[in-house]
C-alpha cells in the first residue's frame, strides 16, 4: 500500500502565452486546471502506471473540495484532514520559448489539532507493507521537523518512507533515516553546502554518506543531464531521454511515482531505473501536471541507457524472471 502525503496541495492553473510582457498586457492562449501538489501528482502518475495509492494531507475551502472531487472522479482514494481557510492556487505561466514562471500561493494556516489529526490518520495506515511518500512544501503552522516525525512514527510499525523535499524538511528528514530519497541536483548541493555544478563524483559521494544514515535507495535527478541511481552497493548513471519537452513541471514527481511503484512491485534495479527515467521523460511532454500515458512510458523504457559506475549488488530484490508491468489499457 502506498500513501502519498501532500501537506500543501493546490489547484494547478497552467496558462500558455506567446511571450511574458512584464508590466503589460498578456493574452492567454490556453488554460489548464488540475488537482496538484507533489504527493497528489505522484498519486495521479501511479494510477496511470496501473498502481493504486491513498492520497492524504490537508485540504481547505472550495479549492479543497474541488481537489477531493477531482481525485474521486479519477479513481484515486483520498483521506485528507480538513483545514480552515482555502487551499492555494498555483499559477504556472508557460511561454512558447519554453520559459516557465511560477506563482505559488502560501496556502492555509494549519492548527496543532489538525496536525495531530493527520499524524493519527497516517499512523493508522502504517505497517510492514506500507510505503509513505512525503513530498513537497508545508503550509504555515506545520513545524519543519514534521516529515522527520512522521518517518520515526511509521518506522516503529515497520513501514517504509520515500522522502522528496528540500531545505530543513530534507535535512531534518535525513536524520530520521528515510528508506528512499529522491533529491534533485540543486537540493543535494544545497544540503551539502556545495556550489552549483557539483561533479557527479561529488554527488555520488554525498549519496554514499546519506546511505550511511539509513537510506537504501537514492535517485538524484539532474534535469537534462539525466539521473544517478545509488543502491546498496552500486551506482548507475542514466542519460536523459530525447523527447519533445512541453514543461518540466511534474517530472520529478513522476520519478518519485516510479520509485514508489518499483518498491511496491519489488522490481529489479534495472526495471526501476528504466521505469523512473521513462515516466519522468514522459511527464515533460504533457501539459500542466498531467502524467504521461502508460503507452508512452512503455515505449520510452526501451530507450533508457544504463551505465554502471560502481560494482556491487542492488537494494531492490532481483527477480527470478522479469516482472511484467501492468498494461494500463486493460485496467478499467
Per the residue annotation, which of 12, 164, 253, 298 is the catalytic one? 253
Query: For residue 126, what is its C-alpha cell?
Result: 502504517
The number of beta carbons lying within 10 Å of the beta carbon of residue 147 is: 29
Crossing angle for the helix pair 185-192 and 200-212, to the nearest 10 degrees: 70
Residue 253 annotated in active site: yes
Please give the Cα distance from 198 to 209 (Å, whole number): 16
State the pairing for strand pair 180-181/160-164. parallel
Please give the Cα distance from 323 to 65 (Å, whole number): 38
Q: How many CA atoms lie within 13 A of 144 on its CB side?
A: 9
| DSSP string covering 10-24 | EEEEEEEESS--TTS
Residue 208 CA: distances (Å) to CA of 13, 142, 163, 164, 204? 38, 30, 16, 17, 6
Please give the Cα distance from 207 to 84 (Å, whole number): 39
Q: Active-site residues: which are they? A: 253
Amino acid at each position: 500500500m502506498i500513501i502519498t502525503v501532500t501537506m500543501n496541495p493546490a489547484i494547478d492553473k497552467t496558462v500558455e502565452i506567446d511571450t511574458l510582457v512584464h508590466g503589460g498586457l498578456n493574452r492567454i492562449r490556453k488554460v489548464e486546471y488540475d488537482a496538484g501538489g507533489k504527493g497528489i501528482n505522484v498519486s495521479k502518475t501511479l494510477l496511470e502506471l496501473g498502481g493504486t495509492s491513498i492520497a492524504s494531507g490537508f485540504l481547505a475551502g472550495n479549492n479543497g473540495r474541488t481537489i477531493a472531487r477531482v481525485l474521486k472522479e479519477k479513481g484515486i482514494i483520498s483521506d485528507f484532514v480538513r483545514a480552515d481557510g482555502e487551499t492555494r492556487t498555483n499559477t504556472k505561466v508557460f511561454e512558447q520559448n519554453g520559459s516557465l514562471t511560477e506563482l505559488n500561493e502560501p496556502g492555509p494556516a494549519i492548527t496543532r489539532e489538525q496536525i495531530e489529526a493527520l499524524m493519527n490518520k497516517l499512523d493508522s495506515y502504517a505497517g510492514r507493507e506500507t510505503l509513505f511518500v512525503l513530498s513537497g512544501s508545508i503550509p504555515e503552522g506545520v513545524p519543519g521537523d514534521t516529515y522527520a516525525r512522521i518517518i520515526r512514527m511509521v518506522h516503529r510499525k515497520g513501514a517504509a518512507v520515500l522522502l522528496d523535499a528540500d531545505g530543513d524538511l530534507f535535512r531534518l528528514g535525513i536524520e530520521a533515516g528515510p528508506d528512499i530519497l529522491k533529491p534533485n541536483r540543486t537540493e543535494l548541493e544545497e544540503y551539502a553546502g556545495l556550489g552549483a555544478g557539483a561533479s557527479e563524483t561529488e554527488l555520488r559521494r554525498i549519496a554514499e554518506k546519506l546511505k550511511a544514515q539509513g537510506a537504501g535507495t537514492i535517485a538524484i535527478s539532474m534535469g537534462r543531464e539525466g539521473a544517478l541511481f545509488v543502491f546498496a552497493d552500486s551506482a548507475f548513471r542514466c542519460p536523459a531521454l530525447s523527447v519533445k519537452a512541453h514543461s518540466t513541471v511534474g517530472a520529478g514527481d513522476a520519478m518519485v511515482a516510479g520509485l514508489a511503484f518499483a518498491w511496491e512491485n519489488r522490481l529489479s534495479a534495472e526495471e526501476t531505473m528504466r521505469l523512473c527515467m521513462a515516466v519522468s521523460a514522459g511527464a515533460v511532454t504533457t501539459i500542466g501536471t498531467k502524467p504521461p500515458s502508460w503507452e508512452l512510458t512503455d515505449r520510452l523504457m526501451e530507450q533508457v541507457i544504463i551505465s554502471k559506475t560502481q560494482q556491487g549488488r542492488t537494494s531492490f530484490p532481483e527477480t527470478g524472471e522479469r516482472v511484467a508491468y501492468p498494461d494500463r489499457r486493460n485496467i478499467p
